[in-house]
Amino acid sequence: MSEAIIPHDQLRDFVEGILSALAVAPAKARLVAETLVAANLRAVDSHGVQLLPFYVDQIECGRMNPHAQGRVVSESGACLVYDGENGVGQFIAELCSDHAVRLCREHGLGMVVARESNHFGAAAWWGQRISAHGMVGIVQCNASPMVAPWQGCDPRYGTNPLCVAVPSNGAGAWLLDMASTTVAMGRIYKAFVNREATIPPGWAMDGEGVPTVETETALNGLLMPLGGYKGSGLAMMAEILCGVLGGGAVSTELGGLRIKTAPFRVSQMFLAIDVARFIEPEQFQARMEKLVTMVKSSRPAQGHQEVLVAGDPEWRAEAGRLRGGIPVPENLWTSLGEIARRLGVAIPALG
């Protein structure tokens, strides 16, 4: 077996069972399981169940407090600051997205910054939670330092992602969700888990800033900022809008999933923009559809069959994996099985 194929609902229940066995409250366990498996469904495996062993370790070692509820620090007009008090990242992100939606309904815009949070998985889940209300959802977070600033070779930024989600009735859909590095760290970790000795050029550097294609060197080295100094700029934007603005940890003050000595201390930003305050929602839909059609009307470049827009690869993957199940690499399935056995959780039988 090189990989196990698990139906998404069984995988979700399995993840939920593991978290419940660690005394995570049922609603939180369900939410984390749903978000991780949703990422797998979209083939964003770097942010799927591969994260679970790290979350388990954080809880078992006391670096994350699954019982913390967090608190509103301040609310002023359309702006809210939340202290996650080192609780479950997805739980904090859900509360904060919902606050952003509430403020947006009232003011036309709503912006929430959470500090002292934990990893919230793929940003797309939260952008979509906002866009489901007819709002543009913009989400960023800072992350564990593993990216050197441009022209440097010491880790100062995280992979600080940016997600922009727009409301859509299907046609004209667009969902951007990207790390500010060439790839998310999870992609390199996935290559490592899959025992792939090399990764594509342009993904990573060694600890001295020398580009590398060796997976293990990359894992212990530095990620490449997306587009050189421009990716550094995007990462800095996330540090400012999340960490600086929210009074939270920035840059080297953050811990990380793989750092066993300190809590994560990540900050996250959730911005909701009410489309209807600018343009009739029907017109917005029609104009999005027109824009996407115009973009896709470009002739495909040599070696390509078609032009895509952000979100297309993931929606296609989702349609396939909903039908055919989620592939989980053998190594990961083994380590999830070990955790489950240790916690007395039933392991789904492979079909």
Ligand X SMILES: NC(=O)c1ccc[n+]([C@@H]2O[C@H](COP(=O)([O-])OP(=O)(O)OC[C@H]3O[C@@H](n4cnc5c(N)ncnc54)[C@H](O)[C@@H]3O)[C@@H](O)[C@H]2O)c1
Using CB under 6 A as the criterion, which residues of the chain lie in contact with ligand X when the complex forms?
Answer: 44, 46-47, 119-120, 122-124, 141, 143, 159, 161, 163, 176-179, 183-184, 187, 308-311, 313-314
In angstroms, give the least distance from the CB of 134 to ligand X.
Answer: 21
By C-beta, is 93 or 340 nearer to ligand X? 93
The residue whose Cβ lies closest to ligand X is: 122
In angstroms, give the least distance from the CB of 86 to ligand X.
Answer: 16
In angstroms, give the least distance from the CB of 310 to ligand X.
Answer: 4
By C-beta, is 262 or 276 nearer to ligand X? 262
Residue 312, both tokens: 């297309």
Q: β-strand 79-83 against 109-117: which pairing, if any?
A: parallel
In angstroms, give the least distance from the CB of 13 to ligand X.
Answer: 23
HSE (CB half, 13 Å, CA atoms) of 13?
A: 9
By C-beta, is 122 or 275 nearer to ligand X? 122
Residue 20, C-beta contacts closer than 8 angstroms, at least 6 positions apart: 26, 29
By C-beta, is 73 or 310 nearer to ligand X? 310
Distances (CA, A) of 201 to 1, 206, 324: 29, 12, 32
By C-beta, is 80 or 143 nearer to ligand X? 143
Residue 283, both tokens: 């017109």
- 77 phi and psi, to 5 degrees? 55, -125
What is the DSSP secondary-structure string of 42-71?
TT-GGGTGGGHHHHHHHHHTTSS-TT---E
In angstroms, give the least distance from the CB of 141 to ligand X.
Answer: 5
By C-beta, is 122 or 326 nearer to ligand X? 122
Q: What is the spatial distance between Cα 144 and Cα 244, in angstroms, rounded to a whole number?
A: 15
Residue 97, both tokens: 């997205």
What is the DSSP secondary-structure string of 247-310?
T---GGG---TT--SS---EEEEEEEEEGGGTS-HHHHHHHHHHHHHHHHTSPPPTT-S----T
By C-beta, is 241 or 340 nearer to ligand X? 241
Q: DSSP character for 1?
A: -
In angstroms, give the least distance from the CB of 201 to ligand X.
Answer: 15
By C-beta, is 161 or 348 nearer to ligand X? 161
- In terms of Cα–Cα distance, which of 120, 210, 133 is closest to 166? 133
Burial (0-12, 13-18, 19+ Cβ within 10 Å), 65: middle
In angstroms, give the least distance from the CB of 108 to ligand X.
Answer: 26
CB atoms within 10 A of CB 334: 12
Burial (0-12, 13-18, 19+ Cβ within 10 Å), 304: exposed
By C-beta, is 40 or 212 nearer to ligand X? 40
In angstroms, give the least distance from the CB of 125 to ligand X.
Answer: 8
Q: Which residues pair with 112 in a beta bridge?
A: 80, 270
Residue 141, both tokens: 């977070």
In angstroms, give the least distance from the CB of 349 to ligand X.
Answer: 30
